[in-house]
Amino acid sequence: MNALLEIEGLRVRVPYEGRLREVVGRVDLSIADGESVGLVGESGSGKSMTARAVLRLLPPGARVEGSVRFDGREVLRMSPSELRSYRANHAAMIFQDPRAHTNPLRTVGDFLTEGLRLNQRLPKRAAEERARELLRAVGIEDPEARLSQHPHELSGGLLQRVMIAAALSAGPRLLLADEPTTALDTTTQAEVMAILAELRDRLDLAMLFITHDLELAAATCDRTAVMYAGSIVEVQRSADLHDRALHPYTEALVAARPSVHTRLRRLPVIPGRPVAAFQAPEGCAFAPRCRYALPRCTAERPVLASLGRGVVACLRAEELHPDGFAAHGGADRG
Amino acid sequence: MSPSLRSRLHRRLGPLGVAALAVIATLGLMAVLAPLLPVADPTDVDLSDTFAPPSAGHPFGTDSNGRDILARLVWGSRTALLGPLTVTVVATAVGVVLAVVASWRGGWSDGVISRMFDVVFAFPGILLALVVAAVVGAGFVAAVAALSVAYIPYIGRVTRGAALQQVRQPYVAALSVQGQSATAICARHVVPNVGILIVAQATVTFGYALVDLAALSYLGLGVEQATPDWGAIVAAGQSDILSGYPQQSLYAGVLIVVAVAACCIVGERISDREQYWGRLR
Amino acid sequence: MAGTLTIALLVIGACSGGDGRGGRTAASASTGGNQRGTVLSPPAKGQIDGFTWALPFEAVTLDPIKSWNYPENTILANLCESVVRLSPELQPEPGLASKIDTSDPTTVVLTVRDGVTFWDGSPMTAEDVAFSLNRNLQPNLGGYFAPFWRNVASVAATGPSRVTITLKQPDVLFWKTLSLAGGAVSKKAYVERKGKTYGTPKAGLMCTGPFTLESWTPGQSVVMTRYDGYWNPDLRAKAGRVEFRAVADQAALANALVTGEIDGTFYAPVAAIRRLEASGAGTLYRGASTLAQGLIPRLDGPLGDARIRKALSMALDRSVISEQAWGGAASPLSSIAPATTWGYARDVFAKAYDELDIKPVADLEAAKTLVREAGAPTGTITVWSSAENRPAVTTINYVADVGKELGLNMKVETVPIQEYATWAYDPRARAKTGLFHTIWWTDLAEPLQALWPLVEPQGSSNYYGYSNPAAVEPLVKAFAEDDDTARARLVTQAQRVMVAEDVMWIPLTNVATLTWMSKRITGGPVSVPAAFYTPWAAHVGTP
Amino acid sequence: MPRFLVTRLVGLAMTLVVSSFLIFWSLYLAPGDPIATLSGGGTLPPEAIQALSRQYHLDDPFFTRYAAWLGDVVRGDLGESFVFNAEVADLIATRVGTTVLLVAMASVLIVGVGVTLGVVAGIRGGLLDKGLLLTTVIGQAVPSFVAAIVLIWLFAVQLRWFPAIGSGEGFAGRLQHLTLPAIALALAYLAYVARITRAATRDEMAREHVETARARGFSPSQIARRHVLRNAMIPIATVSALTVAGLLATTVVVERAFNLGGLGSLLVEAVVRKDFAVVQAVSLILVTAFVVVNNLVDLVYVVLDPRVELGAAR
């Protein structure tokens, strides 16, 4: 399997109140062509920033280290025009809040045809025709009427579909979805996820799916990566994740999520508060909240290492999972 | 200034804002302490010593009447700052009360008060001052009174908008249910919560009022020429510029610009940070 | 004479005047105001397309019978001529009347000049002259000169070229006042057609002067162009076009003069004397003038005691005011009527002037002693002046400062020039003042004209109700006194009582006319009010 | 949309009626007899007093007087000035052109230069932005008369590029004469508008939808043109229009400094001469212009922002 996207040693620092602050500490992740990877973490864990780093869509003054390779090309060193072409044609992104992420003053039609006309250089009429097709493709009836409407006249779910349609208009190979359903209500959420899944399938699209919802990621994606305090702490096949979480944090996340299978009187909560990368203490960032933490956990920072079919960054991983999957070896690198 | 206050100010206003605040404080102090400062009598005329160059006795030289320019600038800060201060205090007091009443009572009261703001807003400060001057005669008091009225809607509209948001907050309903009186809720909670915004708007108003009053002095419709006042000093010195004595107009002009710029900076900084923090919260 | 208001209250901005050189030599009391300043600029050599002239503020009307103030007279002198004209020395000469017969003390017979045409080409007739003069007698027209006409019984055309004015009683000065705008002749038919709008921007004028009124745009300019059919070939205008612009702000005016945007003015700003002279852009003349700067004290209240008023007068240094407030464009003055008004019996006036014994230099100690004798008064004395007039403002600031040293409590108040003018006719405004700063001009070379309004019982210029028979009676007699020397004696006798004894007027300076002419132009009078009563602009051409 | 318009128009009309009433009523606040006030304190012949009484309907009850006065004003009859001896309408007619042209030129400067500077600084950022920020914070604080003094001294007296006074003749002459006054008038507002524009541009730049545009690979100039400017235009238009409306009152000072015969100098002249008819007429015109321009902004909203279409009154 060839990696379409390879992130290696990604570190992002952004200026805040005059100082550079680390929001992504160390991320190593790769996505194969057509593969979907979920990136799970609490707010502030750096997952959105990681996705933006893939498009080099960072706030002014941000410092990025490491490497982001798309189809073998280094994104972080692309010239402005290469970068624009990369964003326009190869990688697309959809966002959490479709309303905020569409220009309120422009019609849906403008929004959709804009990319086609500016990037694909389609003539007006052709662009409009294509926009109608795109809307139909994301399950929107009467595209004609929608095209002349403004974003505030559309529901959130509908608008997110428009966003998806726009993202796919250039036929990208990679879709970055930043919590695309968080702002939607549950039924709409399911619809949007279904459309995403269907389109991905049809277009053989790779996807990085950012969410705070471990279950959702696991249900949607081939593999799932878990982030804590700016770093990836675990990557596993989604199928394995629920029952065999390798990292104590993942384990806690799984436990904290109510499930139709488990009936508990009270959901276990993770003690303490999540921290951002720049707030992370010495040693393992999760140590202060970890029920397995030992004194050495606060002194030594763990790095990602293979364990079984996944990778995990925990000093006690092997010890806590003695049944081990080490035998399988050669697991996918995170 | 305690270190914690200093750092809080610094965070709130930024370095430029703190510098601007220091300028305002210095000018204010100069105005308050004018009688104690070692400067000459600003109305002392000496026709045998006109347009004197700077000397020990007259550090900034003298004007066309042989009066000490430094003394006139120092004493001029009293008129130049007291006028706008009065305008700001009156306009703020009236504007805030009206705005809070409007936002609290809503409905009919709100309609009438908002319409009042609209009407007064239609009279720019200088215009209102001119009309008042035509009615009761020109003068400092008339100008200050007119501007005090003219600036009410500038404070009132902003306060009303902010107070309206506060009044809709659940905490207000909660306090109301607890039996607190409307006056108490407004005075103890609503006004303090929009306080920063009011302070910001008042600071900017101060700057504008300063310019307006100086302009009226320039038109000869403000303070009496013998009274030291920055605007009047600029105007009086204007004809001396051609004769090669730009000093007094220059100094007074610079003081006006500095004072107004400082007010604008502080006002903007306060409201900027407020919005910024508001967004973060 | 009949002229209550013969002395115009001068409300100009940058006024100026007197005689600069005289000012300096006149520092000794005996010659104060006794010098004659420049009256004429070098004659023009050639024609000029046009020039621009600045006025201190906008003309309100150009109807001759209402034109008494600075801007109106500056313009009107070139448009509407009077039956009598004044020489640069303010002596009356024949104007539109080729002969003025005053041999009978109660009639004035005017012979209407032949060959004079109005701008429309129609000839001027006796009917036009009688009609124009008669307008002064109609109270509903609101003519300014009515007080001069109070002794007039009737005006009638008594022949094809004869107009007879009948007086109720002898008035030796009346005919001389026909040189003012009230004596101007307008075309009867035109005035009747325009009614009360005559002399407004819309209705315009119809007169005989060397210039016609081309346009009057309020807020902008008054433009006059040469009248080619003018009756007097010697006075044919050298300029094709003259534009008047009102510039109230002294700094703006100074800028405009230095940059040559405006060619000239009769009131160059005192503050810009140095700069104007250094600019090389033109010539600054210190023209002779009858302008007298003085303070009129209230006769009750803190200044109620004549000794206090006298002390104030003694404490003021008139040479300092001349040199510093006026930048040398004024000279110390001890009397109400300056030497430029001494049109006759000059020796009598000069001797009386010296006897007034009001010194140009201050005697502060003597003044303080006098105040101690009288007891320093309590109560605030408001000193009033126009705000635009820089020298006036400097002067009253100085007066207030001197007053402070004498232990008088003085407060300075300056008002915009137009509001200042209301003081003259509004008793309410006057009620607030304790000491009024003023600059008067006298139109005729007749000191009686300067003094009478100040003492006239119930007169509108007798601001603080002054009434001392010792001053009033000699002046009343003077009106009927035909003999110049005798009249001069009566006048100086009254002046002595007014100035030296009662101190109802504190004389300060005789102010020069600061006339500016750019290097493009020259010619004609540089002295005000002389320029107001002769078509001065007709003389102006290239140097 | 019609409902929105009707609400605005009713509000506009109410504001104007109340303002005109205040202006009318102010005459009666002046101490003393209205006749004396109207005549500027001078003594008038009985005929003139009768004419005044007729013109101001002084024998009628107060509200009848007001209605009659308003009726006259609406018909364009602004009365007669006894101080200037002229119809007020004529006095205004000869001066209004200068003021309108001056305000128009200043507006072009404010909107053209101010908005351009603000946009450039807002988008480019960096040193240019910092420099502009500092310049405008000072520029914003320069009173127009101070600017006028400096401009006259430098450009009229020293360099002689422009005339020092007057409003000139012919269109070119007027433009040349009004250049310095327009700059003096515009300076502080220009700085203010530039600051607001910069802030609005930066706010818009930080918006999520701009991030979307970037993510879609559009070039910075495409983004600025298609997404930032159009959206930032709403606050910019509001502030610009308010500023331009406010200029009408501020010309008073500049007209004085440059000796221009405009509405402002007429107003000052009328104030000091206590010519009430003119004061009332000119203030009414200035207030009306201010209110109308202000309300036009609300209509601009409808054009610029589809969201307010049905929003009724704010």
CA distance, residue B10 to nearest chain D CA (Å) = 19
**Closest CB from C141, C219, C252 relative to D95:** C219
DSSP label at residue C195: G
**Cβ <8 Å between B65 and C388:** no
Task: Name the residue type at position B149.
Answer: V
How distant is the Cα of A268 from the closest Cα of chain D, in angstroms?
Answer: 35
**Cβ neighbours of D218 in A, within 8 Å:** 84, 88, 114-115, 118-119
Band of residue C2 on the pLDDT scale cut at 50, 70, 90: very low
Report chain B residues whose CB lies below 8 A from the CB of C269.
239
Residue B263 in contact with residue B85, Cβ under 8 Å? no
Strands C409-415 and C380-386, how do they pair? parallel
pLDDT at A249 over 80: yes
* Closest chain C residue to B220, measured at CA: C416
Around Cβ C280, how many Cβ atoms within 10 Å? 9
Residue C367, phi then psi, degrees to nearest 5: -65, -45
Average pLDDT over residues C363-376: 91
Most confident of B36-45, B90-99, C431-440: B90-99
Query: Based on the domain organization, do D117 and D84 belong to the same domain?
Result: no
Residue C321 pLDDT greater than 90, yes or no? yes
- What percentage of residues in chain C have a pLDDT greater than 70? 91
Mutate to test the interface with D, among C55, C63, C137, C255 (most CBs of D within 10 A): C255
Is the pLDDT score of C211 beyond 60? yes
Pick B119's closest partner by Cβ from D18, D256, D268: D18
**Cβ separation of C218 and D95 shorter than 8 Å?**
yes
Cα A59 to its chain centre, rounded Å, is 18
State the CB neighbour count (10 A cutoff) for residue A198: 13
Tokens at residue D218, please? 């559009």
**Cβ–Cβ contact A171 with D under 8 A:** no
How far apart are the CA of B84 and the nearest CA of chain C, in angstroms?
22
CA atoms B73, B78, B81, B83: torsion sign: negative
Q: Which residue of B has its CA nearest to D133?
A: B265
pLDDT for position B277 = 38
Mutate to test the interface with B, among D7, D136, D144, D146 (most CBs of B within 10 A): D146
User: How close C335 comes to chain D (CA, Å)?
Assistant: 31
* CATH number, residue D157: 1.10.3720.10
Q: Check C218 against D273: CB less than 8 A apart.
A: no
Q: C with B: 3 or more CB pairs under 8 Å?
A: yes
Q: Of B130, B225, D149, nearest to C249 (Cα)?
A: D149
Does residue D261 belong to any structural domain of this protein?
yes
For residue C253, give Cα distances in angstroms to A53, B215, C268, D20.
67, 20, 8, 37
Domain boundaries, chain B: 78-224
Pairing of strands C513-518, C264-265: antiparallel
Clarify whether residues D155 and D256 are in a common domain.
yes
Domain B78-224 class, CATH top level: mainly alpha
* pLDDT one-digit tens code per residue, C453-466: 889 887 777 888 89
The verdict on a CB contact (< 8 Å) between B138 and C419 is: yes
What pLDDT score does A97 carry?
87
Query: Tokens 């003023």 identify what position?
Result: C438
Most confident of A37-46, C15-24, C108-117: C108-117
Q: At A212, phi and psi to the nearest 5?
A: -100, 0
| pLDDT at residue C537, as a whole number | 94
Q: Does the pLDDT at position D114 exceed 70?
A: yes
- Choosing from D88, D113, D138, the residue where a domain stops is D88
Q: How far apart are CA B231 and CA B209, in angstroms?
A: 12
The top-scoring range by mean pLDDT among A217-221, A265-269, D99-103, D149-153 is: D99-103
Which of B274 and A320 is assigned the larger pLDDT? A320
Q: How far apart are CA B124 and CA C5, in angstroms?
A: 43
* B127-140 core/surface letters (b: 16 or more CB in 10 A; e: else): bbbbbbbbbbbbbb
Both D8 and D79 in one domain: the answer is yes
Q: For C365-421, give the DSSP string.
A: HHHHHHHHHH----SEEEEEEESS-HHHHHHHHHHHHHHHHHT-EEEEEEE-HHHHH
pLDDT score of D261 more than 50:
yes
Virtual CA dihedral for C87, C90, C95, C98, nearest 10 degrees?
Answer: -90
Confidence of residue B180 (pLDDT cuts 50, 70, 90): confident
Domain that holds residue D125: 100-313
Give the residue among B30, B62, B56 at the shortest CA–CA distance from B44.
Answer: B62
Distance from CA of B179 to the nearest CA of D (A): 32
- Shortest CA distance to D198 belongs to which of D124, D147, D258? D124
Q: Which residues contact D313 (CB under 8 A, 6 or more apart)?
A: D4, D7, D8, D11
Chains in contact with chain D (at least 3 beta-carbon pairs closer than 8 A): A, B, C
Q: Is A97 on the interface with D (CB under 8 A)?
A: yes
Residue D93 within a domain: no
Q: Which residue does chain C place closest to B134, by CA atoms?
A: C419
Same domain as D273, residue D193: yes
All chains having 3 or more CB pairs closer than 8 angstroms to chain A: D
CB contact under 8 A, B256 and D145: no
Q: How far apart are CA D196 and CA D177, in angstroms?
A: 30
Question: pLDDT tier at C172 (50, 70, 90 boundaries)?
Answer: confident
**Interface test with chain B among C257, C317, C401, C409, by most B beta carbons within 10 Å:** C401
pLDDT at C156 over 60: yes
Average pLDDT, chain D: 82
Q: How confident is the model at residue A253 (pLDDT cuts 50, 70, 90)?
A: confident
Distances in whole angstroms, Cα of residue D214 to Cα of each of A65, A91, A106, D228, D264: 21, 12, 16, 12, 49
Instruction: Determine, for residues A104 and D211 on separate chains, whether the beta-carbon distance falls below 8 Å.
Output: no
Q: What is the mean pLDDT of residues C405-413?
A: 90
User: pLDDT band at residue A41, thresholds of 50, 70 and 90?
Assistant: confident
Least confident interval from A235-244, A320-329, D30-39, D145-154: A320-329
Per-residue model confidence (pLDDT) at position D275: 80
Coil/strand/helix, residue A123:
coil
Mean predicted lDDT score pLDDT of chain A: 84
Q: Exposure of A164 by Cβ count < 10 A (0-12 exposed, 13-18 middle, 19+ buried)?
A: buried
Contact at CB, A150 and D307, closer than 8 angstroms? yes
Lowest-pLDDT choice from B73-77, C165-169, D48-52, D82-86: D48-52
Buried b (16+ CB within 10 A) or exposed e, C230-259: bbeeeeebbbebbbbbbbbbbbbbbbbbbb
D259 and D121 inside one domain:
yes
What pTM was estimated for this model as a whole? 0.82
Of D88, D116, D151, the residue at which a domain comes to its end is D88
User: C387-396 b/e with 16+ CB inside 10 Å = b?
Assistant: bbbbbbbbbb
Beta carbons within 10 angstroms of residue A257's beta carbon? 14
Q: Does D148 lie in the same domain as D285?
A: yes
In a domain, D155, yes or no: yes
D214 close to C (CB below 8 A) = no
At a CB cut-off of 8 Å and minimum separation 6, what does D237 contact?
Answer: D297, D300, D304
> Based on the domain organization, do D160 and D83 belong to the same domain?
no
D15 at B interface, C-beta within 8 A = yes
Residue D83 contacts C where some CB pair is shorter than 8 Å:
yes
D80 CB within 8 Å of a chain C CB? no
Higher model confidence: residue D26 or residue C114? C114
> A328 or C102: whose pLDDT is higher?
C102
How far from chain centre, in Å, is Cα A309?
21
Q: Is C94 on the interface with D (CB under 8 A)?
A: no
Q: Quick check: is D180 in a domain?
A: yes
Lowest-pLDDT range, B227-241, C218-232, C321-335? B227-241
Q: How far does the CA of residue D129 sit from the closest CA of chain B (Å)?
A: 15
Question: Which one of D211, D230, D231 has the shortest CB-CB distance to A57?
Answer: D211
Residue B181 has pLDDT above 80, yes or no: yes
Sign, CA torsion A89/A93/A94/A95: negative
The Cα C531–Cα D269 span in angstroms is 27
- Report how many domains make up chain D: 2
Q: Which of C156, C165, C136, C163 is nearest to C64 (CA)?
A: C136
Are D78 and D125 contained in the same domain? Answer: no
For residue C292, give Cα distances in angstroms to C284, C325, C488, D245: 20, 14, 19, 48
pLDDT in tens, A280-305: 888 888 888 888 888 888 888 888 88
Select from B24, B110, B123 the residue whose CB has the most chain D CBs within 10 Å, as the one to mutate to test that interface: B123
Percentage with pLDDT > 70 across chain A = 92
pLDDT over 90 (residue C307): yes
Residue in D217, D218, D306 nearest the CB of A105: D306
Q: Which residues of B touch D271 (CB under 8 A)?
A: 130-131, 133-134, 138, 221
Torsion of CA C505, C510, C516, C521, to 10 degrees: 120
* D73 and D159 co-located in one domain: no
User: Does D95 fall in a domain?
Assistant: no
Q: Are D169 and D31 in a shared domain?
A: no
Residues in chain D with CB shorter than 8 Å from the CB of A108 are none
Q: Do C391 and B33 meet the contact criterion of CB atoms below 8 Å apart? A: no
Q: What ipTM does the predicted assembly reach?
A: 0.80
Strands C162-167 and C107-112: antiparallel
Q: Do chains B and D touch (3 or more CB pairs under 8 A)?
A: yes
Q: Please check whether residue D94 lies inside any domain of the structure.
A: no
Cβ separation D137–B265 shorter than 8 A: yes
Chains touching C by CB (3 or more pairs below 8 Å) = B, D
In a domain, D215, yes or no: yes
Cα-based distances in Å from C484 to C173, C345, C447: 12, 6, 11
pLDDT number for residue A224 = 92
Using a CB-CB cut-off of 8 Å, the residues of chain D touching C252 are 152, 164-165, 257-259
Q: Scan residues 42-81 of D and list those with Cβ closer than 8 Å to B.
A: none
Distance between CA atoms of residues C275 and C135, nearest Å: 46
Peptide bond into C529 cis (omega under 30): yes
Distance from CA of D82 to the nearest CA of C (A): 10
- Which of A130-139, B49-58, C108-117 ranks highest by mean pLDDT? C108-117
What integer pLDDT is reported at residue C26 of this predicted model? 28
pLDDT, mean of residues D6-33: 81
What gap in Å lies between CA C197 and CA D90, rounded to an integer? 13
Residue D214 lies in a domain: yes
Q: How far apart are CA D209 and CA A163, in angstroms?
A: 11
Q: Which residues of D touch C199 (CB under 8 A)?
A: 85
Q: Does A104 touch chain D if contact means CB atoms closer than 8 Å?
A: yes
For residue C412, what are the β-bridge partners? C383
Q: With 70 as the cut, is the pLDDT of residue B236 above it?
A: yes
- Whether residue D146 is found in the same domain as residue D247: yes
In D, residues 182-241, which contact B (CB 8 Å cutoff)? 188, 195
Percent of chain C with pLDDT over 90: 50
> Does the distance separating the beta carbons of D209 and A114 come in below 8 Å?
no
Neighbouring chains to B with at least 3 Cβ pairs closer than 8 Å: C, D
Question: Closest-CA residue in chain C for D32?
Answer: C428
pLDDT of residue D181: 93
Q: Which two tokens stand for residue C218?
A: 């309020």
What does the pLDDT read at residue D203?
Answer: 85
Dmax of chain A from CA atoms? Answer: 67
Determine the Cα–Cα distance for residues D117 and D123; give it in Å rounded to an integer.
Answer: 10
> Would you call C419 and D262 a contact, using CB atoms and an 8 Å cutoff?
no
**Going by DSSP bridges, is the β-strand pair C211-217/A73-74 parallel, antiparallel, or unpaired?**
unpaired
